[in-house]
Amino acid sequence: MKKNILLILIFLLIALGTISLLKYVSNNIIGNTQGVAQVIKDYIPETLKNFLKNTLFKNQYLAKEKLMNEKVVNKIYIDKISLHEKKLSLIDNQTLISSKGKKYTLKKFYYPYLDTYTMGMKPPGYLDIYNDFLIIATGQADFIYINLEDLNGQEVNFNFLNSNFDEFIDKKKYIQRNIVGPRDIEIIEDEIFISYVDKDSCNKLSIARAKINFNFLNFEKFFSWDSCVNEELGFKKENGLLDQASGGRIRNFNTENLFFTIGNYDEYSSQSALSQDMNSLHGSIIKINKKNKNYTIISKGHRNQQGLYYDKTNNYLLSTEHGPDGGDELNIINTKIEKIENFGWPISSYGYHYPSKHHDWEKINKKDLMYKLAPLHKSHSKFGFKEPLKNWTPSIAVSEIIKIPNTFDSSFDNDFFIGAMGNVIAQGDQTIHHVRLNKSFDEIIFSDEIILKERIRDIVYSEKDNSVILMLGSTPSLAILKN
């Protein structure tokens, strides 16, 4: 009798524990992309997550999906009103204290487009400054401009820039919930350059340019490249869309040339990792002549370079790039030397293959080939490659890098702000990483962190009012950071 009662009690405890666990997962894990919830998700294998999603937690996921759809519908309705009014409203004004005790103010304006997650990881937009105006290329390939003086007020007016850009893209893909969209803009003198997913080039990135005219931007194609190799190994991109390892940053070099980052697209031929193939542009930073459009490779062995800054005073190019599961990097390219510097991907990386990558190669029975082409050795220099100046493991989903002058803060000297996206704030995500480099650009001599709790997609410095302007993808919002 006592034994039966004990078994019943054990059963009840297990049942209550299971119910409590299901309730906790439903309320705190499903649909939550931040903090502890995301840490737990990162440790669960992809196959197990998919199984739980389709069985034990199926109803909870369907409920979350319904809420997400309602959110999209409501947001689109709100956006249409905001776009019609052409105004950005102030939604937050706060004081931030960095990890080293520096005080900043952050002012956020509502940005009338969908947030990153609602849009299936589409970037909300990219920024640059032209004279007294902030110009934004949105994730849906609209162009808007704002008078910089308006950012000092409580409400910001904006206007659309009409253009012929729709001729170069598949607009249906750009407005859908997927990652297809612009990848950067760079204003050079009186021209705007934009990198974008090209409908005529195997969904690879191309560059278009236009003379800045506030009545109409008349774009023409500037640079394009073809490489349709992903099907050689049997890999298929969902809906034929390009994945996220694309690069796409554009930076001016001098009067004749600009720099352009091209990611590896997670693509390999059956013989080589294309980022190590000197006949391929995968995994490269290239220099393009603005007049004749001829290009040369500056560096190789990159994965997904999402930040780029050229320090013209010292002739160094600073690149931030996404690793795989870990291994985000800050790399320094010396543009004074003729040698093509190689940063090792995918032979060397401080990150690891995602479980999904193992699954992809297992499906085509070539997992051994994956390790042959991409061994991800935990040293660069040992295998003849240049070491990153810094790596982040776990990853911070690194984004743009810009130099901050000492007019912003008198203590700054060779200081840079690096954006981070990601989901786990405790690991350095959704944070501005402030680093100070020595004069030879081979050592970090000071570091700080400014936690925003927002995905930072793009950053630009405004001399006009001595501020840092950020495109934030979580709210989404346009933010102004001041010292």
Give the pLDDT score at 240.
43
* CATH number of the domain within which 461 lies: 2.120.10.30
Q: How many CB atoms lie within 10 A of CB 147?
A: 13
Query: Could you read off the pLDDT tens digit of each residue along the chain, which spans 483 residues?
Result: 666 676 666 666 665 655 565 566 556 666 665 566 666 666 666 566 666 666 777 777 667 666 665 665 565 555 554 566 688 999 999 999 999 999 999 999 999 887 888 788 889 999 999 999 999 999 989 999 999 999 999 999 999 999 999 999 988 888 887 888 899 999 999 999 999 988 776 768 999 999 999 999 999 999 998 776 555 565 555 444 445 789 999 999 999 999 999 999 877 766 678 899 999 999 999 999 999 999 999 999 999 999 999 999 999 999 999 999 999 999 999 998 889 999 999 999 999 998 878 887 888 888 888 899 999 999 999 999 999 999 999 999 999 999 999 999 999 999 999 999 998 898 999 999 999 999 999 999 999 999 999 999 999 999 999 999 999 999 999 999 999
Do 446 and 324 lie in a common domain? yes
State which of 85, 105, 127 marks the end of a domain: 85
Q: Which domain holds residue 224?
A: 88-482
- Rg of the chain over CA atoms, in angstroms? 23
Joined tokens for residue 152: 């000092």
Give the pLDDT score at 241.
44
Give the pLDDT score at 9.
67
Do 64 and 162 lie in a common domain? no
Do 206 and 291 lie in a common domain? yes
First to last CA, the chain: 73
Return d(Cα 461, Cα 253) in angstroms, integer: 18
Return d(Cα 164, Cα 116) in angstroms, integer: 25
Return d(Cα 399, Cα 154) in angstroms, integer: 28
pLDDT tens readout for residues 39-91: 666 666 656 666 666 677 777 766 766 666 566 556 555 555 456 668 899 99
Q: How many CB atoms lie within 10 A of CB 467?
A: 21
Return d(Cα 322, Cα 248) in angstroms, integer: 13
What is the tally of structural domains in the chain?
2
For residue 400, what are the contacts with CB-CB under 8 A and spacing of at least 6? 249, 306, 307, 308, 320, 418, 419, 456, 457, 458, 459
Q: Of 262, 100, 248, 250, whose CA–CA distance to 179 is shortest?
A: 248
Do 119 and 149 lie in a common domain? yes
pLDDT tens readout for residues 408-443: 999 999 999 999 999 889 899 999 999 999 999 999
Look at strands 390-392 and 328-334 and give their pairing. Answer: antiparallel
Do 182 and 297 lie in a common domain? yes
Do 445 and 405 lie in a common domain? yes
Do 185 and 304 lie in a common domain? yes
Give the pLDDT score at 354.
87
Q: Which amino acid is at 182?
A: P
Do 144 and 79 lie in a common domain? no
| Beta carbons of 214 and 233 less than 8 angstroms apart | no
State which of 85, 119, 154 marks the end of a domain: 85
State which of 68, 85, 102 marks the end of a domain: 85
The vertex-453 CA angle with 389 and 352, nearest 5°, equals 45
| Beta carbons of 165 and 141 less than 8 angstroms apart | yes
- Burial-class residue 104 by CB neighbours within 10 Å (0-12, 13-18, 19+): middle
Bridge partners (DSSP) of residue 89 are 155
The predicted model scores a pTM of 0.86
For residue 413, what are the contacts with CB-CB under 8 A and spacing of at least 6? 406, 436
* Average confidence score pLDDT of the chain: 87
Do 134 and 282 lie in a common domain? yes
Joined tokens for residue 344: 């090792």
Return d(Cα 283, Cα 289) in angstroms, integer: 19
Do 425 and 442 lie in a common domain? yes
Do 29 and 140 lie in a common domain? no
| Beta carbons of 131 and 142 less than 8 angstroms apart | no
Q: How many CB atoms lie within 10 A of CB 61?
A: 16
Joined tokens for residue 35: 């903090």
Do 317 and 438 lie in a common domain? yes
